[in-house]
C-alpha cells in the first residue's frame, strides 16, 4: 500500500556486488546525495535503506518510463557492503530482496564477492539485473550526463563503443559461466529466464534511466505474480542496526518487509538473550530519498506499511540484535509470535 492506500507493496531492491564496484555511488546518483562521502574510507559497513518514490524514479528515467504504466508506490533500495568481511550482511540484504541489482565494475569483471552475491541470489531465487558500472572509464569515452545508454553509445567513437562492447561481452560470458543466459538488456524479452546487462556510470548518470526502467518492469511483473498485494496484516521486519538516538534511548533501524506497524503496538524482537516483548513508543520515518544510516531528521508517524526502512523507538531494546526478526503481535497469540521469533534466530 501507499501508506495505507490499496495497491502493490513497495518492492525491495537489494544492491549487491564486490567492494568498490560502485553500489553506494549508484544509489547516490539516483537519490541525488553523497552518502559515500560520509563513509569511513568510502567502505560501506552496514546495510542501508532508501525509499525512492515513483515520481523520482520516473523523473530520473525520463522519457524511458511512463509512470501511468505502473501502480507501484516506488522502490525501497537496500545498500549492502561489498567488503569480504561482511558476508552475513550481504546474505541478510539478499534475503530481504524481491529483486536485485548486481553491480559489476566493467574493468574488474567478476570478483570474489560478485560470485558470493550471485550464489546468494541463486539460493534465494531472486530475479536480478546486472549493472555494468563505470562505463565512463572506457578510454576515449565522451560522457553525456544522465543520458539513456543507446543515445550516449551512438555519440561515441567506433573505438570507444566497441571497447565497451568487448567489456560487456566479458561480463555476459562470466554470467554464462555461472549458468545464466545473459544478454544486453535491450535484447532480453523475459527477465526472469534471462539476465539483462545494463551498462551504466554512477559518475555521469549514463544508463541509469535504463537501469530504473528495467527494474520497474521487473518489479511490476514480479510483484503482480508473486507478492501479497494487501499489506495490512501485522508487520514483519528485520533489524538492520541497534542505535542510541537522542531523546529516544535505544532504537532499532528496521526494514519492514511485510504488513504494517503502528504506534503503541506490542512487538517481539530477537535479542541476545530471550526474545524481547515491548510496546512501540514511536515510529520514525526517514524523509523520502534519505538513507536511513545517515538520516538525522525523522518524521514521527502513527503507522507505516511495507516495504519501508523505519526507526522504531521502544523501551528495553538494549539487548536487541542486528539481523534479528521483528514481529507485530496485534491479534495473534503472543506465545506463538515469541516462538516464531525464537525459531528465526
Ligand atoms: P563498498 O560499499 O565498500 O562495497 O563499495 P561500493 O560498491 O559502494 O563502491 P562506492 O560507491 O563506494 O565506489 C567506489 C569508488 O568507485 C569510489 O571512489 C567512487 O567514486 C568510484 N566510482 C563508483 N562508480 C563509478 C563510476 O561509474 N565511474 C567512475 N569513474 N568511478 C566510480
Ligand atoms: Mg558502498
Write the DSSP string, 135-183: GGGSTT----TT--HHHHHHTS-HHHHHHHHHHHHHHHHHHHHTT-EEE
For 233: left if phi > 0, alpha if psi spans -120 to 50, otherwise beta; the answer is beta
CA dihedral 269, 272, 274, 278 (to 10 degrees): -30
Q: Which ligand is nearest to the CA of 113?
A: 1
pLDDT digits (tens), the chain, 345 positions: 344 444 678 999 999 999 999 999 999 999 998 888 888 888 999 999 999 999 999 999 988 888 888 888 899 999 999 999 999 999 999 999 999 999 999 999 999 999 999 999 999 999 999 999 999 999 999 999 999 999 999 999 999 999 999 999 999 999 999 999 999 999 998 887 899 999 999 999 999 999 999 999 999 887 766 655 668 899 999 999 999 999 999 999 999 999 999 999 999 999 999 999 999 999 999 999 999 999 989 999 999 999 999 999 999 999 999 999 999 999 999 999 999 999 998
DSSP 250: E
The pTM for the full model equals 0.95
270 Cα: distance to centroid of ligand 1 (angstroms): 34
The reported pLDDT for the residue numbered 226 is 61
Residue linked to cell 529516544? 248
The reported pLDDT for the residue numbered 229 is 60
d(CA 247, CA 75): 30
Determine if residue 136 is labeled as part of a ligand binding site: yes
The reported pLDDT for the residue numbered 2 is 41
222 Cα: distance to centroid of ligand 1 (angstroms): 29
Determine if residue 134 is labeled as part of a ligand binding site: yes
Q: Is 339 a pocket residue for ligand 1 (Cβ < 6 Å)? A: no
DSSP letter string, 29-89: HHHT--GGGGSGGG---S-EEEEEEHHHHHHHHGGG--GGG----EEEEEE---SGGGHHH
Closest residue by Cα to atom 28, ligand 1, is 134
The reported pLDDT for the residue numbered 65 is 86
Q: Residue 120 corresponds to which cell in the numbers above?
A: 546468494
Q: Residue 86 corresponds to which cell in the numbers above?
A: 561482511
Q: Which ligand is nearest to the CA of 291?
A: 2
d(CA 123, CA 112): 17
Q: Which ligand is nearest to the CA of 81?
A: 1
Provide the 10 A C-beta neighbour count for residue 323. Answer: 17
Q: Is 116 a pocket residue for ligand 1 (Cβ < 6 Å)? A: no
The reported pLDDT for the residue numbered 230 is 66
Closest residue by Cα to atom 26, ligand 1, is 134
Provide the 10 A C-beta neighbour count for residue 26. Answer: 26
Q: Is 25 a pocket residue for ligand 1 (Cβ < 6 Å)? A: yes
Q: Residue 22 corresponds to which cell in the numbers above?
A: 560502485
The reported pLDDT for the residue numbered 1 is 34
Q: Is 113 a pocket residue for ligand 1 (Cβ < 6 Å)? A: no
Amino acid at each position: 500500500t501507499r501508506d495505507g492506500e490499496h495497491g502493490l507493496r513497495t518492492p525491495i531492491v537489494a544492491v549487491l556486488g564486490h567492494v568498490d564496484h560502485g553500489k553506494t555511488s549508484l544509489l547516490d546518483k539516483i537519490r541525488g546525495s553523497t552518502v559515500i562521502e560520509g563513509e569511513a574510507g568510502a567502505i560501506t559497513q552496514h546495510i542501508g535503506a532508501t525509499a525512492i518514490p515513483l515520481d523520482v524514479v520516473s523523473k530520473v528515467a525520463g522519457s524511458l518510463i511512463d509512470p501511468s504504466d505502473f501502480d507501484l508506490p516506488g522502490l525501497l533500495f537496500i545498500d549492502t557492503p561489498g567488503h569480504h568481511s561482511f558476508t552475513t550482511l550481504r546474505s541478510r540484504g539478499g534475503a530481504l530482496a524481491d529483486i536485485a541489482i548486481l553491480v559489476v565494475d566493467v574493468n574488474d569483471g567478476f570478483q570474489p564477492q560478485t560470485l558470493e552475491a550471485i550464489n546468494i541470489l541463486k539460493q534465494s531465487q531472486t530475479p536480478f539485473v546486472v549493472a555494468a558500472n563505470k562505463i565512463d572509464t572506457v578510454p576515449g569515452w565522451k560522457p553525456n550526463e544522465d543520458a539513456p545508454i543507446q543515445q550516449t553509445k551512438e555519440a561515441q567513437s567506433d573505438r570507444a563503443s566497441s571497447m565497451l562492447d568487448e567489456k560487456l561481452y566479458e561480463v555476459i560470458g562470466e554470467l554464462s559461466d555461472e549458468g545464466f543466459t545473459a544478454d544486453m538488456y535491450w535484447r532480453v524479452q523475459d527477465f526472469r529466464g534471462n539476465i539483462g546487462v545494463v551498462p551504466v556510470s554512477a559518475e555521469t548518470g549514463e544508463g541509469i534511466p535504463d537501469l530504473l526502467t528495467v527494474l520497474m518492469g521487473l518489479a511490476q511483473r514480479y510483484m503482480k505474480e508473486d507478492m501479497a498485494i494487501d499489506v495490512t496484516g501485522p508487520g514483519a521486519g528485520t533489524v538492520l542496526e541497534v542505535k542510541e538516538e537522542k531523546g529516544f534511548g535505544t532504537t532499532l533501524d528496521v526494514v519492514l518487509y511485510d504488513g504494517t506497524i503502528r504506534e503503541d503496538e506490542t512487538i517481539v524482537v530477537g535479542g541476545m538473550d530471550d526474545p524481547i516483548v515491548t510496546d512501540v513508543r514511536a515510529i520514525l520515518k526517514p524523509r523520502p530519498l534519505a538513507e536511513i544510516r545517515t538520516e538525522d531528521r525523522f518524521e514521527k508517524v502513527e503507522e507505516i506499511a511495507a516495504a519501508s526502512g523505519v526507526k522504531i523507538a521502544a523501551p528495553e531494546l538494549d539487548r536487541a540484535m542486528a539481523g534479528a526478526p521483528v514481529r507485530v503481535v496485534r491479534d495473534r497469540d503472543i506465545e506463538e509470535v515469541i516462538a516464531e521469533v525464537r525459531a528465526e534466530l
